[in-house]
A and B are shown apart, each in its own frame.
Chain A
């Protein structure tokens, strides 16, 4: 998985691309933590449009990011998940905890 970001007006958009599984999640989480330390955004958006695969390791990464944002008084959201990641998000019911914007839904 690759992690890149842009920052504008309090919002950090974190672009995830490639495959997000247990193998790639630890490094990905470290990179996200570093980006949040550096920018201290009010809003963090996990843009999943480049993610070709995600399993439950992605859910843990999302929940950890959401918790961290909430503790610092900010918010997190997910944007543009493709079909396969969307099905994992739907099966988990995670949408009750974090908004999902755009993407491929049923």
Chain B
């Protein structure tokens, strides 16, 4: 057994309202530069829908992920190493800009500079790629809320698959449609096909936290990773000629803050935590012959941090103590392995994705209520799951390679939770029979309820800092106010470094903002950072923070 740790995410799709806040804040943080205008590290797609880039799930065409060769060994779907190198001069299966969408801006200045006249001035869309006026025909969420579904709905590769088995299940007539939102980021896979297909070895998985990154200094722009990733979550920056991808906001995680998409999620539906897994089992698990077994196989390599043997092995393999502790409190571990309500996205790609999803139950409840039934009554709910408006088959194609049992089990648990909690809310005392029907205890159901419905900030994000793992960096990121150089006359003294005010080492911005925002949210006085350096971005214009202006006396 070789224990490795990974920061993983779970999203509770029940709560996603499709507001795209996560996408927008992520874009502001990471991809608001030229060269990556078309790139959304986080995107939210309406399902059924084609997704972004269009039809990325059609691996017959895009050749992403892994497959088994004749001998049952894992090999990249895009071909072996020699084939990769032979095709390096022109990648035959690279999505081009039209498959994502051509990014554009508007001729805004026409609005303000147009001469006075009878006609309203119009801001024409202009392509950010060619600079020419363009017709907007597609974007990263053009089919949002099923826009155009009667026309394009059939282009969803998963719809096509479901139709093969149950043609009547997916309908796009208005009264019969269904939809839910699927927010997607890079999966930070355990067996990442992007890393495996990078010829330069510039992509890597960080050993400590499993984050998959691109080394910008060694990337040579061979673009094989874009093809390798079945989720199409590596992008090519057309200005710098380098690959870029979701970083899981590693600078934030390192200081114990959640990713930007999680922090800003309106539905508060994202969970972050540590998962321990057995690295020795990865290849075996990823090469399970039957695709429908892959979900169970992946569950099988996750280790239980409550098991003393696992903890001893983790310590032996150099996992820091507080990471092991964090793994025990990890909401992600609970949702994936304990309650088994979270499911992986497309396990059949064999990359072992690490962003998991709790399938949506709400549409069932709504549908039931509409028919005049009590949508939260256990029997009604259980019965309705099979006749769901979101057909189980469709969810299964997305989350379990077509096996409906895990999806049904997960939805039944969510349904049991609803009716159990309703009984409590109505003043009754549930006898625990509903919980038993889904193989849980009343206590577990209530715990799960706290995690999923109450969803406190500190329960959703249990992120051990990198600093505690690396004790030498402790003082900087955990105690931004104290500095070991803070002795009389020392360089850190009074916040002034050797070369005057504001010199020396600043606290990481993420940490500073975090504390300042917390201050401001809790104090009723003008926000004052109390730190030597005033960050004007944080100053709310209220009062006169110390340090904003130099002291008068001092100026003598």
Q: Are A and B physically bound partners?
A: no
